[in-house]
Structure 1
Amino acid sequence: MRNKMKFIAIVMLVAAGKTYAQTDTAAKSLEEVVVTASRTEQKEKAIPYTVNTIKRNELNRFQPRTTPEALMGVTGVFVQKTNHGGGSAFLRGLTGNQTLILVDGIRLNNSTFRYGPNQYLNTIDAYSIQQIEVVKGTGSVQYGTDALGGVIQVLTKEPQFRNVNSSKKVSGIVAGKLMTAGMEHTGRAEVKYSGDRFAAAAGFTVRNFGNVLGGDTTGFQTPSGYRELAYDVKLKFLLKQNVELIAAQQLLRQSHVPVYHKVRLENFLLNEMDPQQRMLNYAKLRIKNANPFVQLIDVTVSHQQSIEGRNSQKNGSTVLRKEKDEVNTAGLTVDIRSAITKNWTASSGIDIYFDKVNSTRTDVNTVTQNKTMLRGLYPDAATYGNYSVFTLHQYQLKKVTVNAGLRFNQFDIHITDTSIGKTQIKPSALVANAGVVYAVTKQHHFFATFSNSYRAPNVDDMGTLGIVDFRYEVPAYNLLPERSHNYELGYKLRTAKLNVTVAAYYMQLQQLITRVRVPNETINGYNVYVKENTDEAFVKGLEIDADAELTKGLNIQAGIAYAYGHNSTRNEPLRRIPPTNGRVRTTYSLQHWFFAAESWFASKQNRLAQGDKDDNRIPKGGTTGFSIYNLYAGWQLKNIRVQASVQNLLNADYRTHGSGMNGYGRSAWLNIQFTL
């Protein structure tokens, strides 16, 4: 069945290309996508690398539970879930601190982001999102450290000034969502105000997730449920005709988020995150100028706070371990857009971020209530300075568009450890990219690109002391930046009825920071590991993506991604490489109705590194493949919208590779929204 589905996807892509590539006579139906992947708004077809976009309309229709789950099935993106409150996106075989996440252009990544899967993408409320852009294989020149695999840019909803043809200033929505077996109860409320010189938007979300019901042989996965509370506020001021100010605050807090596989497989009575919280405050000043050399200036100041509390207790133990990590990040970005000539535009500026890390641990005797204060997971009061300057250029000459850029990044990392004293390192990186798009016609575009990226060692790399996943880590202070060189060739077809992208890539990885086992050492039954710049590796792959309007109202999307990763140093597969995977989705819209059916599939992954074989989240022999079938329907009339879905129609028992729990079994959800 899995091979059959992959074959069907490829056949549909090829057939659609033959059917629609010859003509573009119909009125434009597929929207021309404009993205911010290169820090400036550009038409996607003029960018020399692959960008996938998820817009608000798709989020409204398919109602993904979380931001990570919104990315499931996006071509070239594979989502691992250590627990129900997590979700880590793999881009070009990399995830965690080797991919960069941005919220409204501001870095979500901080100096405690760890290697391998993490849960931080799930601290962005899916209801607050206007658009998600996924950039694969590039990003360090555009946005800085961590973008080895690529960038996920999340753009949140923005209020709009009143339209001259509209008299309505205040509007809002109230929505509720229920899922069978008590797996979800969600409420969302939004209000918007649109004035001539002032606009505002605010939203509030409250959610209660029950334990996940797996497929035909799994049953309820207990404990996996948790609670969530979020709000977002954004204000927009027109100070002058060409001067805008945006001020925003976002907060998401999750409570008692269990780590299911720890309880199930590692003899824990309790293992949870409480709280898991992110707060972002920022102000952006945008100045438009008639001077071509300074056409637009964006200045953004931000403060972001990340709090992660962890509670754990082993079965039969009287010790409750309570850990808390808090990272406060101050940010300043300045971006200047220029039109140097008629065909030559540029974006140049600075990015400054400064982290302060506070980390504590308290062991509580549950019998006597005595408390013992110990070193936290990270060195307390560690600081991490991230300073860079960049310049990005686009030049168009007839049928050829050239993109090129350069960034210099300097870091200043201070760590005071209780065991080895003060440590300071100042790594730096200079990276460049260059790409060419050749437009054979208005519909057919070929592109080639080269980019090098880097990831500077962070506080998690250097200062971790304690249990992480299934190992015990000790600090390392002599690390260098990881580096990558990415080569990509591709083709883009853009017509009124069909969009197709085909991309082949090869990425070299150097100076990889990897966990190396310390021989013959264990602590509390866990093998001891330390991080070192030991490995070199490569990832190569192929991605095919298509979006076609077959007839009026009937749309089909199909995509498939293949990746092969190899660790050259160890002569074994690269860890956690996703299996071949993809999605086929057909949507039919008719007046007030829409219907959709999709299949999301992945093949077996049995190419395992030794670290995969040691990971208790991966079954012996590898992760089995799966094909999941989902149905959707929706109805909208005036002020009411109703949507419903049946998930995993055949009740298959499945797990995405590397995950700590299985996916949903057969289930259904209902969402009702009222517009005020």
Structure 2
Amino acid sequence: MQFLTSMRNVALLIFFLLVSLATMAQQAVVLDADSGNEIVNVAVFNQDKSKTAVTDFDGSCDLSIFGKNERITFKHISYEAITTTIAQLSKRGNRVYLNLKPEQLEEVVMSVSKWEQQRKDVPQKIVAIDARTIAFTNPQTSADLLQNSGKVFVQKSQLGGGSPLIRGFATNRLLLSVDGVRMNNAIFRGGNVQNVISIDPFTIKNTEIIFGPGSVIYGSDAIGGVMNFFTQDPRFSYTDSLTFSGKAAYRFATANNENTVHLDFNLGHQTWASYTSFTYNSFGDLTMGEHGPDSYLRNNFVARENGQDILVQNNDPKKQVPLGYDQINFLQKFRYRPNKNWNYDLGLYYSETSNYSRYDRLIRPDDAGTGLRSAEWFYGPQKWFMTNFRATQQGKNRFYDGLKITSAYQFFEESRISRNFQEVVRNTTTEQVDALSLNLDFENKKIGNLRLYYGAEYIFNKIGSTGQNLNIDTGEISGAVSRHPDGSTWQTLAGYINGEYQIQPNLTLLSGLRYSQVYVNADFDTTFFPFPFEEANVSSGALTGSLGMSWFPKADLQITLNGSTGFRAPNIDDIGKVFDSEPGSVVVPNPDLVSEYAYNAELGVSKNFNDKLVLKGAAFYTYLVDALVRRDFEFNGQSQIEYNGELSNVQAIQNAAKAYVYGFEFGVEAFMNENWSFLGNLTLTEGVEEDDDGTDSAARHVAPTFADAHLVWKNQKLKADFFLNYNGEIPFADLAISERNKPFIYASDQNGNPFSPSWYTLNFRSQYQISNALKTTLSLENITNQRYRTYSSGIVAPGTNLILGLGYTF
């Protein structure tokens, strides 16, 4: 009898467990696709609306009234609706992700304070690009991701490149950040920087671009803007069981015979989660368009036969040989949440390219103008590794309501390999950077209408730099001058405070201060260069601030006004670089440098017409003093020295100029009905550098006028975008002096002078949701097959380019 009683109890226990599991299996949680936060008051209904449910404060709802294969819709006023079945939901851990509608104004941004803020309260211009938009535009690299926004101009010296230009500034005057960790290091240069391609666009959850100085939060280098990339976070399970989900994708492009494969997957438990991503890219040589300047054609290239360099006629002059390269990206993230107050995140990031050619150096003619100057000029593998650990606390505390502790280690490696035509000596310089950082960020929301953000930062960089010469005939290796002083260090210590004060419900002030101290130490090796100094020790401090307001005089009208300062402290590349910067010139070290400062003012207006039409405009002005620029110099009293066997003019980075940049930015969003919309952007920028001797010249990194216009149609399954891209002309008179010295990358005007012609392209992209799990993309770029080169770029842009993509979610 006791045995039967026990069996009955076990049977009852199993029955109740099965009932509980069945009930749990019909519980769903609705989440924001970008932030992962629960969404309250989501309506859930079947096709005839005879059955309905609503999500509670935890974003969850009971779906037991619906059949397993019955089609049900999740709808919220601020989000795009989605239709699915319980059977499909069970495969995804009973989670539903909704995307915010593009016309919603209550967006949250994190870039200005490192904490969530309502975008409407921020006086600075911020552009956010979410994962949904990235998936639709389907970019090859993160540089293309920025360019596709229509608000950032991107320069390319080679296919494995992409250097953003924002408001007349670029390279080491713009700051890159990945998951809150500064990517800029001590050898970021004034020339074009391609580090952004190390960030895998498949893994990006959201990108936020701050226009204008961001030094209060980010310190040195944030003069023209800040680009924050936030990668996908691991997702927890909302049931007792372990959930598994993932995505596979493939992409092909005809213009450079691209083949890209991507795989990611997520393991989720209630207290821990893991996200893993892997991407492989293979890019071939890029084919330019049919209609455009003949001077852009690649008529010949250098090949080595029987121990000799020879010029070979290119059978297809539109093919840019050699440009192809391969790349791998890996990301592993772990998240642990022991309770509602604490989150612990660990991330491992790795990116590596194959060798890739510096195309603008390979097309540079020799002095006679009958051949090519370089037989070889390419970058070695670009490597980036980062591990970061973050602890986040939310909850009431005597001194704060939120705390983030972020520590990170990064390793960078890059190299440059070059050999002149008919020379047997190949020169290689290799640079490695070890970067450590520690950030403490606090949020305090308890002081009435005042919200405070404050924190501290420490960064340490150590540089390894070597040079060597290889005789390709004999194999003999000898030492050579390194690009940077080996063993040099760059470090900074800073503290900041930022405040947001809501004076009235329609008026918010945002203000902040930051003090940064920067230290540079470098020892110079005189083995190959007789430097007139043995070391450089630079210590400089900078106080930066910002003050802005966001005002809604009417509910549908926003006016923003912002003033801010920014600075850039000289880094190792400024102080200690030795490099042939342009034909016939060599850059030498200069230890007598100080920080440059920027003063910025910005006015913005946004008008919403009944959620049908939104017009946006912004005007800005930036004044830069003690500008770090490359100018003629004397080395040991000489204006010319021999470098790599060539007599070269001596140049150095100097605090030798002032600069001012101003411009206007316009945007329009028109929502004609549920299916049709129109989007457009226009950016006009002007800039001048004024040297200490009073001479003026055009600023190098001021982009031409550029614009885009999009006509978009979409329903639940199909989205299509027919759009135009436009770039204005930069005539010879407005071309920077450094750009005039590179006529081989420009067209020639009627006087034979180099200039950058205007161009336009017509394009089409589309995305079709075949099923809840399977979607495909098709794009046709440069439909009219224009042959054009974007301003200051080495490569010619692709001609007509068919791009196919396939994505499967499981």
Q: TM-score, normalised by structure 1?
A: 0.93
Deviation of 1:401 (Å): 0.4
Query: Aligned partners of 1:210 and 1:475: how far apart in 2?
Result: 37
Q: Which has the higher contact order (CA 8 A, sep 6+)?
A: 1
Which is worse superposed, 334-343 or 402-411? 334-343
SS at match of 1:159: coil
Alignment of 1:58 with 2:58, yes or no, is no
Q: Deviations over 1:315-358 (max 9, x none)?
A: 10111112210001000000010124121001101111100000
Match of 1:580 in 2: 705
Matched letter for residue 614 of structure 1: N
Check if 1:382 corresponds to 2:488. Answer: yes
**Aligned partner of 2:349: which letter?**
Q
Match of residue 521, structure 1, among 640, 645, 652: 640
Q: Is it true that 1:624 corresponds to 2:757 in the alignment?
A: yes
| Rounded Cα–Cα distance in structure 1 between residues aligned with 2:167 and 2:256 | 35
Shift of 1:187: 0.5
Query: Are 1:655 and 2:808 counterparts?
Result: no
CA contact (8 A) 1:435 1:448 kept: yes
Distance 1:104 1:513 in 2: 29
2:209 maps to 1:137: no
Q: CA deviation at 1:200?
A: 1.1
Matched position secondary structure for 1:161: coil
Task: Please tell me whether the aligned partners of residues 319 and 363 of structure 1 are also in contact (alpha carbons under 8 angstroms).
Answer: yes
**Structure 1 558/167 Cα, relative in aligned 2: closer, same or farther at 3 Å?**
farther
Equivalent of 1:211, from 270, 280, 285?
285
Is this contact kept in 2: 1:553–1:588, CA < 8 A?
A: yes
Number of positions where the alignment pairs a residue of Structure 1 with one of Structure 2: 650
**Corresponding residue for residue 449 of structure 2:** 343
Instruction: Give the one of 657, 660, 670 matched to 1:535.
Output: 657
Aligned mate of 1:197, from 271, 295, 311: 271
Superposition map of 1:48-197 within 5 A: 48-163=123-238, 169-197=243-271
| Structure 1 range deviating more: 383-392 or 611-620 | 611-620
Contact 1:576/1:608, CA 8 A, preserved across alignment: no
2:469 to 363, 374, 388: 363
Q: Which residue of 2 aligns with 1:604?
A: 729
Aligned Cα root-mean-square deviation (Å): 1.7
Counterpart contact for 2:631–2:652, Cα < 8 Å:
yes
Cα deviations by residue, 1:460-486 (Å, 9 ceiling, x for unpaired): 000001223443110000101011000
1:394-431: CA deviation from partner (whole Å, max 9, x where unpaired): 00011210000000000111100013212211111001
CA deviation after TM superposition for structure 1 residue 621, in Å: 3.3
Paired amino acid for 1:621: P
CA distance in 1, matches of 2:150, 2:778: 24
> Using the alignment, how far apart are the partners of 2:111 and 2:653 within structure 1?
32
Post-superposition Cα deviations, 1:217-258, rounded to whole Å, max 9, x if no partner, equal 541111111110111111110133311100001111011111
Task: Work out whether 1:235 is the aligned partner of 2:337.
Answer: no
2:389 and 2:407 in contact (8 A); partners too: yes
Kept in 2: contact 1:74–1:583 (CA 8 A): no
- Decide which of 251, 262, 281 is 2:350's aligned counterpart: 251
Provide the residue aligned with 2:568 in structure 1: 455
For 1:59 and 1:269, the matched residues in 2 are separated by 38
Q: 1:400 aligned to 2:507?
A: yes
* 1:498 CA drift (Å): 3.9
Deviations 1:184-229 (A, max 9, x none): 0101000111210011111101111001110115411111111101
In the alignment, which residue of structure 1 is the partner of 2:767? Answer: 634
Stretches of structure 1 lacking an aligned partner (at least 5 in a row):
1-25
* 1:73 Cα deviation after fit: 4.6
More moved, 490-499 vs 179-188: 490-499
Q: Deviation at 1:168?
A: 7.1
Partner SS, residue 60 of structure 1: helix
Secondary structure at the aligned position of 1:141 is classed as: helix
CA contact (8 A) 1:385 1:413 kept: yes
Matched residues in 2 for 1:292 and 1:448: separation?
33
What amino acid is the match of 2:640? E
User: What's the secondary structure of 1:71's corresponding residue?
Assistant: helix
Pairing 1:436–2:569 present: no
In structure 2, give the amino acid aligned to 1:209: F
Counterpart amino acid of residue 595 in structure 2 = P
Deviating more after overlay: 641-650 vs 511-520:
511-520
Question: SS at the partner of 1:70?
Answer: helix
Question: Is the partner of 2:687 in helix, strand or coil?
Answer: strand
| Residue number in structure 2 paired with 1:20 | none
Q: Distance in 1 between matches of 2:682 and 2:387?
A: 38
Q: Is the 8 A contact 2:278 2:331 kept in 1?
A: yes
User: Any idea what SS the aligned residue of 1:531 has?
Assistant: strand
Q: TM-score, normalization: structure 2? A: 0.78
Tell me whether 1:41 sits opposite 2:116 in the alignment. yes
| 2-structure distance, mates of 1:223, 1:499 | 45
Q: Secondary structure at the match of 1:280?
A: strand
Q: How far apart in 2 are the matches of 1:623 and 1:35?
A: 36
Task: Evaluate the alpha carbon distance shift between residue 618 and residue 407 of structure 1 in structure 2; reply closer, same or farther with a 3 A threshold.
Answer: farther
Structure 1 residues 253, 542: CA separation in 2 closer, same or farther (over 3 Å shift)?
A: same
How far, CA to CA, are the matches of 2:216 and 2:403 in structure 1? 19
Q: Equivalents in 2 of 1:401, 1:60: separation in Å?
A: 34
What amino acid maps onto 2:552 in structure 1? A
SS of structure 2 residue aligned to 1:591: coil
What is the match of residue 467 of structure 1? 580
Question: Which residue, 593, 603, 621 being the options, matches 1:479?
Answer: 593
Cα gap change, 1:497/1:281 in structure 2, threshold over 3 Å: closer, same or farther? farther
The one-letter code of the counterpart of 2:125 is T
Contact 1:292 1:338 in 2 (8 A): no
Residue number in structure 2 paired with 1:594:
719
Cα distance in 1 for residues equivalent to 2:185 and 2:658:
25
Distance 1:49 1:500 in 2: 16
CA distance in 1, matches of 2:550, 2:601: 14
Any idea what SS the aligned residue of 1:127 has?
helix
Q: CA deviation at 1:603?
A: 0.5
Give the Cα separation in 2 of the matches to 1:341 and 1:498. 37
Partner of 1:19: none
Give the C-alpha shift of residue 91 in structure 1.
Answer: 0.8
1:27–1:496 Cα contact (<8 Å) kept: no
Distance 2:363 2:647 in 1: 17
- For structure 2, the 5+ residue unaligned runs are 1-75, 79-100, 292-296, 298-317, 366-372, 527-532, 748-752
**Greater mean deviation of Cα atoms: 494-503 or 167-176:** 494-503
Tell me how far apart the structure 2 counterparts of residues 181 and 515 of structure 1 sit (CA, whole Å). 36
Q: Distance in 2 between matches of 1:292 and 1:129?
A: 35
- Which residue in 2 is equivalent to 1:409? 516
* Aligned-pair CA distance for 1:103: 0.6
What displacement does 1:74 show? Answer: 3.1
| Separation in structure 1 between the aligned mates of residue 686 and residue 273 of structure 2, nearest angstrom | 48
Q: 1:572 to 1:181 in 2, by over 3 A?
A: closer
- In the alignment, the residues of structure 1 paired with residue 684 and residue 394 of structure 2 have an alpha-carbon distance, to the nearest angstrom, of 43
CA contact (8 A) 1:511 1:533 kept: yes
2:423 to 305, 310, 317: 317
Where 2:172 maps in the other structure, the secondary structure is helix
The one-letter amino acid paired with 2:439 is: T
How far residue 88 of structure 1 moved from its aligned partner, in angstroms, is: 0.6
CA distance in 1, matches of 2:213, 2:256: 41
> Which residue of 1 is the match for residue 321 of structure 2?
222
Q: Percent identity?
A: 24
Q: Shift of residue 77 of structure 1? A: 1.6
| Matched letter for residue 664 of structure 1 | P
Name the SS of the counterpart of 1:375 in structure 2: coil
